[in-house]
Structure 1
Amino acid sequence: MGERLRQLQNWVAEQAEQNGLAVVSKSLQPVSGDASFRRYFRATGEQENWIAVDAPPEKEDSQPFVDIARHWHEAGVRVPGLIALDLVQGFMLLEDFGDRLMLPALNAESVDRLYGQAFRVLDTIQAIPHEHLPAYNEVLLRREMGLFDEWFVGRMLQLELSPAEQRVLDEAKRALVSNALEQVQVSVHRDYHSRNLMLLHDGELGVIDFQDAVSGPVTYDLVSLLRDSYVRWPDQQVARWVEDFRHRLALRGGTPTREAFLQQFDLMGMQRQLKVLGIFSRLCLRDGKAGYVQDMPRTLGYLYRAAGRHSSMAELQQLLDRRVVPAMARHPMFKEIDLDQELA
């Protein structure tokens, strides 16, 4: 056992005693982590369990998580309750939401019901005052998309774009930034998808991994959910859900036309997909988390098809067709994946 885990176990035991928690064993059991340096463990109790979080303070700032958890809980979003905190050491003890992610429960019969529930939660999140959150500004939007150039194109695919090709990519990014900044700004979870939504025993939907929330575009969380890198739905079905959500927004005030809102959604998705391809590549190459490789062709497919639906992105789709897609098809890490199917 590492020294860090031993310290966490001793801290949890102390907190259990101070808070009157009937912990069965001092031993902590690992549970699924995320794409950060945080680690999660389950502390088993006589009647309920808790989640112990190890977030090394030199690598993870947990204060935003704590602040947003308190704020969103007060607003009616089901986020994990804060049992005990020691942010100096980087330790937290949280309410345990269990192991039932939305993703495995999604199928043709359940998806409308589950997404309908996710839309209701998203309504609540977007209604929360957002002025205190960091702005999803041009600097952040561009920094995220830069991960595509560095980690996916450069390091994963080993491609060097010509100056003309780089100009095509840069021009597309300018349009994507403008689209994001022109939208209505709301509270944005920033990773609102089926692996961060939990099906709770009381029928409610739990929300996790919200510490990077920002004040940003109204379509961002919607596209995170409906263009989920871990599950794909037919484009016509997605368009229907987007229109349903546009009607929900209309109850709060003016909204764009159907066509304008769908374009905002598509272009917002392209910004996110550029970022995600870069993040997945970095997780694989730098952090040794190769499991994300299987989700990259689906993510590229979203980007490719969205570019094909908008004339302003025609040159970007041609660049993907000419350089990126062939390089991915040749790459040994993707040889078992039907790339043509994901692009169709």
Structure 2
Amino acid sequence: MSRSEQLSQWLNHVLETNDFRVETASEDASFRQYFRVKCGDLSYIAMDAPPQLEDCRPFVKVQAILQQHQVHVPLIKAHDEVMGFMLLTDFGHQLYLDLLNESNYHAMYAMAIDELVILQSAPVDAIPAYDRPLLSTELNLFSEWFIGHHLNHQLTEQQQLIVQQLHELLIDNALAQPQVFVHRDFHSRNLMWTDDKPGVIDFQDAVCGPVTYDLVSLLKDCYIRLPEPTVDDLISYYLQQSGLAHKPAFSRTQFVRWFDLMGLQRHLKAIGIFSRLNYRDGKPGYLKDIPRTMSYVQDVCDCYPELSALKQLLKEMLPTIRHPA
């Protein structure tokens, strides 16, 4: 029996009817697939996560934490851990990414930040730590998949030293920050526009980590670029809403440095993942997002003298990369 036939059979059981329609809902960067299930006047999202490739248990655990903490996440209507199937409430078709424009940036992102502040205050005792080994593993994706596979370049010993020193700088920056509940992929493709407030999806990789991580994921998005004045305004809005503007432990300058270097870590990781999705998983569509993501990297290098070696390394390896229009 095919996987689609197994899903239909499972849906027949949990919905107690065979009177439903199944259509593709979205593409995912993992091995999960999502389908929209129409049953009469009701609509659900079915997740197909092959158990040999995906573990649904983190999704279930994190969903319970966030739901209990009043974060706007889908409800789990049914779940079969052995089969790797899940039925969720449907937040609809409208991604943040599809609706954003210059006239609504502030309002939509303010709502997203309000939801982020709630999410960041969720308890972290049951989720993994965003620790040094995990941060290091993620940073290595850039060297392995972008430099090694995409550019087909082998780093010299001197270049390897530059990369290693960069990793230490970025990991130390992450660990020095206040540690909070981190979604780990909080951006315009994982926020749904709903009637009352943003719907938050794709949260299964949550960790306890740096306070700036989700904010930089949102405001320095790999899929859409906001004007810098808008980013600055929204950082101020976040600091006010979170209460961090009144914390004497660090200044706004310190926070922005954390934010910028955290963004560098995330963008290097993302470029590595986009490359891996193409070369390992046969998903070339993400390659088009590399120039935009690389432009963030280059911008941060221009702002911090300690990144001059990385700036030179990128200049040597990427003579044709330019900022996207």
Which bracket does the TM-score occupy, shorter chain normalised? over 0.9
d(CA) in 1 for partners of 2:41, 2:176: 50
SS in structure 1 at match of 2:123: coil
Letter in 2 for 1:49: S
**From 219, 223, 227, the counterpart of 1:230:** 223
CA offsets 1:211-259 (integer angstroms, 9 cap, x no match):
0000000000000001100001222331222232223333584452111
d(CA) in 2 for partners of 1:113, 1:318: 39
CA offsets 1:279-310 (integer angstroms, 9 cap, x no match):
00000111111111110001111011112111
Letter in 2 for 1:232: R
- What is the CA-CA distance between 1:169 and the residue it aligns to? 1.2
d(CA) in 2 for partners of 1:235, 1:256: 22
Letter in 2 for 1:188: V
1:127 aligns with 2:121: yes
1:340 aligns with 2:322: yes
d(CA) in 1 for partners of 2:191, 2:24: 19
- What is the CA-CA distance between 1:100 and the residue it aligns to? 0.4
Q: Which runs of 5+ in 2 are unaligned?
A: none
**Number of paired residues?**
324
Normalising to structure 1: TM-score of the pair? 0.91
Alignment check: 8 A CA contact 2:31 2:54 kept = yes
Equivalent residue for 1:49? 43
CA offsets 1:22-68 (integer angstroms, 9 cap, x no match):
7642x421111210111111111211111111101111110110111
Equivalent residue for 2:151? 157
Equivalent residue for 2:54? 60
- What is the CA-CA distance between 1:104 and the residue it aligns to? 1.2
Letter in 1 for 2:227: P
CA offsets 1:146-201 (integer angstroms, 9 cap, x no match):
0000000000011111111111111011000000000000000000000000011x
- What is the CA-CA distance between 1:126 and the residue it aligns to? 0.6
Output the aligned Cα RMSD: 1.5
- Residues 225 and 293 of structure 1, relative CA distance in 2, 3 Å threshold: same
Equivalent residue for 1:13? 12
d(CA) in 2 for partners of 1:123, 1:143: 27
Moved more, 231-240 or 125-134: 231-240
Equivalent residue for 2:193? 199
Equivalent residue for 1:3? 2
d(CA) in 1 for partners of 2:279, 2:50: 22
Equivalent residue for 2:208? 215
- What is the CA-CA distance between 1:96 and the residue it aligns to? 1.0
Equivalent residue for 2:243? 250
Alignment check: 8 A CA contact 2:110 2:237 kept = no
Alignment check: 8 A CA contact 1:246 1:255 kept = no
d(CA) in 2 for partners of 1:303, 1:341: 10
**From 102, 107, 110, the counterpart of 1:108:** 102
Equivalent residue for 1:332? none
**From 138, 147, 172, the counterpart of 2:132:** 138
d(CA) in 1 for partners of 2:179, 2:103: 33
- What is the CA-CA distance between 1:98 and the residue it aligns to? 1.1
Alignment check: 8 A CA contact 1:39 1:55 kept = yes
Letter in 2 for 1:134: P
d(CA) in 2 for partners of 1:42, 1:23: 15
Normalising to structure 2: TM-score of the pair? 0.96
CA offsets 1:131-160 (integer angstroms, 9 cap, x no match):
221000000000001000000000001111
d(CA) in 2 for partners of 1:11, 1:188: 33
Equivalent residue for 1:184? 178
Letter in 2 for 1:341: H
**From 51, 70, 80, the counterpart of 1:76:** 70
Alignment check: 8 A CA contact 2:72 2:200 kept = yes
d(CA) in 1 for partners of 2:295, 2:112: 24
Percent identity of paired positions between Structure 1 and Structure 2: 44
1:167 aligns with 2:139: no
d(CA) in 2 for partners of 1:119, 1:255: 22
Alignment check: 8 A CA contact 1:23 1:44 kept = no
d(CA) in 2 for partners of 1:319, 1:283: 24
Equivalent residue for 2:265? 271
